[in-house]
Amino acid sequence: MTETPLKDSKFNNWKFSTDLDNVLWLSIDRAGESANSLSMEVLSELSTILDVLEADAPAGLVLQSGKPGSFIVGADVREFDGYDDAEAASDGITQVHRLFNRVEALPFPKVVIIDGYCLGGGLELSLCFDYRIARNVEHTRLGFPEIKLGIYPGFGGSARSIQQAGASSAMQLMLSTRNLRPGAARAMGLVDELVDAHGSLRWAARRAIKQGRKSRPPGQLTRLQNFAPVRRLMARMMRKQVSAKANPDHYPAPFELIEAWERYGDDPQRMMVEEAERVGRLITGDVSKNLRRVFFLMERLKGFAKKSDIKVRRVHVIGAGVMGGDIAAWCVLQGLDVTLQDRELKYIEPALKRAKSLFKKKLRDNARVAGAVSRLIADVDGKGVAKADVIIEAIFEDVEVKRKLFADIEPRMKSGAVLATNTSAIPLADIASVLKNPGQLIGIHFFNPVAKMPLVEIVYDEDTDAGQVAKGAAFCGQINRFPLPVKSSPGFLVNRVLAGYMARAMSMHLDREIPIEVLDKAAKSFGMPMGPVELADTVGLDVCLKVVTLLGGESAKREADLLQKKVNDGELGRKTGKGFYTWEKGKPKRADADFSQYAIEEITDSLLQPYFEACEAALADGIVEDADVLDAGMIFGTGFAPFRGGPLHYLKQRGAEQ
């Protein structure tokens, strides 16, 4: 390597060298950060670098990351809050457009090496290069997550991705926010070449520079998607698909993107102008601000997983019912070895069957599915207890049976292992009283369905060892779940809040004869992903019965009786195919209802009153660390409308407005 024309310049976030062929190797390595993001300082330094390259051109340019296994995760979300004025935000976006246009216009071969996450602004910058090479490994992903933040790609991504990959593929990628594996990104045209785990990215990049390789444009049929009549037809279909999942009043960003493309998809420069104007308006709106708040709340929960360095390899789950079996399957899916225990093999076999179906759905590769199946071991005798790093009890809610079980486990578990119960409502001390070391027991409370619910409550009381809580949280982080430390009390946090909410729905159904479809619509009109009745069916009416009985007491007797009748009839909700709804292919069948005769807003207010009151009471009782953590728990544990930023945040904002 030789010195570059940039040798006298000092940069905090970029490193560079020139090889003997006068190819400049430019590495982004953001100072003081574990991952690269495009902050204003990073982009300002890039502008200075471009000044030099435009004046003294090298033979070629290779962009890579200075952080092993990680590329660029996007723009620096922390800086978004610096914009309060839509016009100023649009001006800032326009400046980035000009910067990226300069990259695209450099008159020599340009190659980018992608090894790790290439998201948002990172992918938008990559699309300015002639040729993209990706490491074909599990940790490499490409995508546009901006919709989750209440905006859409604003650094030229909406225009360039459509020109590169075609309208249908690019729009679906932006609207779905899914991350692509390298092979899928190559098939779409966002990546031009793949290098396996043992191949040389550097060699591939040098070859691409020497040969002047460029991305292939999409074919003629794909380009036809941008013709105006086709755009109008496809835009209608896209709106219909998005509307089935998102209310445009609650989440305007995807609809803004669709409208911009429908009107100007054949004009990349006008798409850029629309990006600046629309994203500038969106990024300063309340929805985007609240969704960014949710992003930071998520990071707060992830932080709890970083307080212990435990590395879990083996998990032992006791109880092969729906919850225990699904916990075991999820742990296997995350790469762990799991032993699953129950009284007889016949109780374990249905869980093994469900697990295999999950593996097929998630892994989509016969060899990987077979590997996952081999790591889930039926263990009637409980031999896995002695080797497990984490032991999770997930049997039925009977405190005496749980005590007997834990008294048997304690002498057989290895030193340093995490001992946990998945109880949904029983106070920790009631179970731990039989242990010689009661402080080692924690709650690791998953929610149903395990594969979809991202939150796990880590339950502790005044006698719990803090190190065990940290280990439990770290375990959750390892299996890709958000840990929420909660103080042990009846219902903990999530069930405490949901109990009154679901009981209110049942009382309104009983007292006012409001159809369940109307109750669920009222909740969804507020922004909940599902209504309280559908939620009860999803959680399981047997679980709801235990929670309502424990937390509601005599005041919820009618609601408990209603649930008890359903349970007695074997109607437990989604898992049995019938509860309040009849379920077909995982979806509830809804009866027709005349919604116009109901005051939906009044019903919504009545439904949510106990929800909000329980949140305020839980905070006052110190169930969680602070209001932000509670909001995070409610968003990720109950699906509280994300665009509202959390229940306590919503109440605060509503109070300020009033």
For 476-493, the pLDDT digits (tens) are 999 999 999 999 998 899
Question: Residue 637: its pLDDT value, please?
Answer: 94
pLDDT tens per residue, range 8-51: 578 999 999 999 899 999 999 999 999 999 999 999 999 999 99
Do the domain assignments include residue 157? yes
* CA-to-CA dists, residue 422 to 87, 319, 442, 444, 447, angstroms: 51, 10, 9, 5, 9
Do the domain assignments include residue 296? no
User: Does one domain contain both 594 and 450?
Assistant: no
Q: How many CB atoms lie within 10 A of CB 191?
A: 25
Do the domain assignments include residue 78? yes
Buried b (16+ CB within 10 A) or exposed e, 403-433: bebbeebbeebeeebbbbbbbbbbbbeebbe
291: left (phi over 0), alpha (psi -120 to 50) or beta: alpha
Residues spanned by the domain of 472: 305-488
Do the domain assignments include residue 631? no
E strands within 362-502?
376-378, 390-393, 418-421, 441-445, 455-460, 482-487
Residue that finishes a domain, picked among 488, 518, 547: 488
User: Does one domain contain both 88 and 214?
Assistant: yes
The pTM of the full predicted model, rounded to 2 decimals, is 0.91
CA atoms of 41 and 57, how far apart (whole Å): 23
DSSP structure string for 111-142 = EEEE-SEEETHHHHHHTTSSEEEEE-STT-EE
pLDDT tens per residue, range 419-444: 999 998 788 999 999 999 999 999 99
- For 27, the 3-state DSSP assignment is strand
Residue that finishes a domain, picked among 284, 316, 342: 284
Residue that finishes a domain, picked among 284, 317, 335: 284
Do the domain assignments include residue 294? no
User: Does one domain contain both 499 and 429?
Assistant: no
Question: Residue 217: its pLDDT value, please?
Answer: 86
CATH number reported for the structural domain that contains residue 608 in this entry: 1.10.1040.50
User: Is residue 280 a contact partner of residue 80, using CB atoms and an 8 Å limit?
Assistant: no
Task: Provide, for the chain, the percentages of residues in helix, strand and coil under a 3-state DSSP scheme, each rounded to the nearest 5.
Answer: 55, 15, 30
Do the domain assignments include residue 364? yes
CATH number reported for the structural domain that contains residue 467 in this entry: 3.40.50.720
User: Does one domain contain both 474 and 551?
Assistant: no
Overall number of domains in the chain:
3
DSSP structure string for 53-105 = HHHS--SEEEEEESSTT--EEEE-GGGGGG---HHHHHHHHHHHHHHHHHHHH
User: Does one domain contain both 471 and 554?
Assistant: no
User: Is residue 251 a contact partner of residue 643, using CB atoms and an 8 Å limit?
Assistant: yes
CATH number reported for the structural domain that contains residue 192 in this entry: 3.90.226.10
User: Does one domain contain both 476 and 502?
Assistant: no
Residue type, 243: S
Say if residue 1's pLDDT is above 50.
no
Q: What are phi and psi of 623, to 5 degrees?
A: -65, -30
Q: How many CB atoms lie within 10 A of CB 442?
A: 27
CA atoms of 255 and 245, how far apart (whole Å): 12
Say if residue 150's pLDDT is above 60.
yes
Q: How many residues does the chain have?
A: 658
User: Does one domain contain both 457 and 438?
Assistant: yes
* CA-to-CA dists, residue 386 to 72, 394, 450, angstroms: 42, 18, 25
